[in-house]
Chain A
Amino acid sequence: MPVVRLYYEDMERLIGASRDTIMSRLAMMGADIGKRAEEEYVDVEFFPDRPDLYSPEGVARAMQGFLGLRTGLVNYDVEEGPIVLEVDDSVKSVRPIIGCSVVRGLEFSDEAIESIMGLQEDLHWGLGRNRRKVAIGVHDISRVVPPFRYLGADPAREFVPLDFSEKMSMHEILQKHPKGRDYGHILDGCERYPLIVDANDDVLSFPPVINGELTRVTDESHDLFIDVTGTDPVVFKALNIVVTSLAERGGRIESVLVRRSEGDFRSPDLRPAPWTVASSEANKLIGFELKAPELADCLERMRFGAKAEGESVQVQVPAYRADIMHSWDIFEDAAKAFGYDRLVAEIPKTVTVGQAHPSEVRKAEVREIMAGLGYLEAMPFTLTNETVHFDWMRRPREGATRVMHPISELHTILRTSLLSSVLEIFSLNQHHPLPQRIFAAGDVVVGRKTNMHLAAASIHSGANFSEIRSVADAVLREMGLEKQTKIVPSEDGALLPGRGADILVEDENIGLFGEIHPLVLRSFGLEQPVVALELKWGEL
């Protein structure tokens, strides 16, 4: 989750409350406060559903409401500006959606620049799916001349990218610029690349990769042009979050006329979205008993516009909120404003009788038998690899479920049997006194279906067939399988020929036992005889 750095002094000024007051309520608003409290600032995390809290300005806006200092909807003035951006049809197959805005009259401290850069990066992560869906550019507008144009450009087109002094072609940027290497894949397969240029054909931005060096924002910048491009209407949410955040810093928002072949529009559009919610529905979901005016009051403290009308509340959802999909999202905010700590926890009266799953009951029986026979339980991973699971066991590579992108060579498949996992435990424990007797009862996956297996093995200098035969007989007897099973010589590669047996029920092979083949032991690095048993005892 994105980390937002909140400087106490900055927050006290933006919110108008003391540090102690702010810190005491921040967690209950939904912030995850870092353990390391610094002298001057605190790092907090907010959930991915609230990108509007990814900046100190956004946090301050929400906190003012939460503390009851300034409640209700914030009305941001949008001045109708003269600047035009034209969307060329050539970009529509590549990155069709653009929103933009001008914000004037800003004074940039280092903190403010850090905050806007941080917000931009966090939005790329939180809403933008790493720039694929949304990419944001912020520019010093004094360096360029409107009108602007958004087009699909020839990859050979050259300009000086941010942090470089030489001209590079867009194609080169994808090869050589660090940002190009990070985000170039988004443009894989595109014949033209998105580009924003000014009236003189100077480059502002190569979304979603890099801005031009020309429009770099410095502490001397006052007037900004913001472009947000992408593939989804969430682009406009990101734009709204950025411009309202800048407005909280004292900026004046000025709209841009976006010209498109399918129709013009003014951007940004900060009109709130109207919702009507019933207080009875809120009460039913949360379990409190609020009248419509009280509900409206809670919502105003979450910076919604809210007006009670009879049993209902007319809600205006701020244009920067990206998470309101359903009335329950609004009710959750009401519950937060009410305070989770003020809700009285109550056990529901739902009367039901608890019931264990039959396979867990069976598994508990298996454990009791094995513990009674002196075996210690292990709970190895179900992920393993073909080398250990098949090759070392002298078995064919069959029936395993393979994961597509393993994270390590050790974990490439789900185990189809348990025995190799138990042998691995022996090899980890060779330095401890023998005999060791280990069992595992758990899931294996064969043909993508979950089965339940038991494996048990014994390692010591005197381990022999009759020891494991006795154990196998005892297990089958205790599990009530003795009468149905038939013991026949086994061909399994993991067992020493002539000293291994298969367990059959009718014609189905449900297990085996015997002396482990010395070549198997050698693969696992074991130097003492091992006898072992494996039994399938259930499937889901």
Chain B
Amino acid sequence: MNSAHLVDVVELRLFILPLSWLLRANSMQAEALFSAFKLSSQRLLFFSSSRVPRYLVRLMMLFYGCAFAWQMTRAQEPLAATTIIVGATSLLFAFQIVTDYFVIVFNPEEKHFLGWFPIDASSLLTAKLALFLKTLLGATFLLHIPSAVVFTAKYSVTAAALFLAGAMLGNILAAVSTLILYALVLDRIGSARLTNLIGYIQTLFFTLLILFSTFVLLPEFSRLAGGFSVLDSPWPWLPPFAPAALVDLALSGFDLRRLAQALTLPALIAGAVILLLRTFSQRFRDRLYETEAIPFRAAPRAGRLFTVITKAGFKERENWVMLTLTLLHLRDDWRLKAALVLFPIYFALWGVLLLGEEPVADPFAAVRASAGLLLPFMVLVLGQAPLSLQLLTRSLQYRASWIILLGDLDPLKILLAVRAAARRLFLQPYLMATAFILLYQIGNRGHVLLIMLLFWAAGEFFLSFMHQFMITLPFSRPHEEVPTGTGNLLLLMVLTFGLAGLLSGVVFFYAFRSYAACATALLLIFVLFLLSEAVFRRRAGDRLNHVEFPY
């Protein structure tokens, strides 16, 4: 008996048979529907039929669970911490129910799939309820077991049991409320508009989730900053520090150990790229294998690259087309609109927190005292990067990109125009708003300029990075194809935000401890940006040459 079959048998015994008995359903039908729903959900969520992405998601949930538990051990008021954790995870579960399973389990178009089969209502209900319970138990287990262990160690087994029961209850309440709300809204506005509304919820919740992670991780960064010591600790071995070690190497004399530190970065980047390419997405890999390396019509030149970065205007026909498509996309896609609505709200929130008469926190006090910009950077990078990336990635999902291929437009200019549109519509306003807040807070304009340079470089780098790996790249699919692989995308985005945010935060912190390191960091980011730009052109150019017309 293989593991998959074993899981099927366990699920049958644990969920299907008791529920079928309880609801007087046909267990054979319920089991068949349960299997079909489960498989369809999993395979629609992830591009790859491999189990690796699903295991990664579970690992991420476990990571969240451990992070919550860690916070709990340090919490001054355990009850408040518990309330926050249970509330957040209940929301997480409700989000998962609405976004991950609604396509299959709560599909309003279900009758077009199953309408003519002799299914009695109780069998259908049993299958859906079983899937719901399976998800509930799985999420509760992964998210709350580490916290329960902490409760047992800190208080008692009874406290842990109460905590688990509370968490389960919270999850059930959140999920049932969500389902009721879903049904009511579905009845009220219909399936098409509801799908758009789900898009809103996804955008909002994803942003909140990232912000919540920031909240969980921030205290750890403060602690880390306290123990930071240049080159005399293991931290300089980490990738962001390594290039700065080169500068220190030049300043303080040759040292083999420091050279090794400097070389860790390229090695780790190469490893990460190989890992990403090998791990993610069967379709992506297939595409890479199938794609012939057709050289671009216009070879990249250094001078042209500079033009790309500095003055990609809307004068060219290609730029005009991409701007028009972006505006059309903005008109049609509610998620993009939602992200745009969130954008000023987010800045208003931070404005109130940082610029109010009685600021909740004064993160820049540390800056003035020690020239360490850790906290503001963590807030801005971890908090704002996800939001801005939401804007950027949404802006790249042109639903009608194929139109441009009908004309005699230059593919290279089109690609550059995509970047220009995203940059002008989303990245630049974000940078301007950030600069406004920082100018108000920090007297030293030199500091602000440096910060903005770093942010600009980081923004360009994020954009290039996302272009490399986003499965919804423009031209990668016809506009009418149903987007699948949501799980892959979400996973990729969380990993990107998490890793890039953490590394950026630490590299910024280190950069402001030493101006030499700051210069290195800027140079590094710029080089990475140019590199990724070149790779992006080549890969996306290949896609342009291989795009299939929907008509």
State whether these chains interact. no
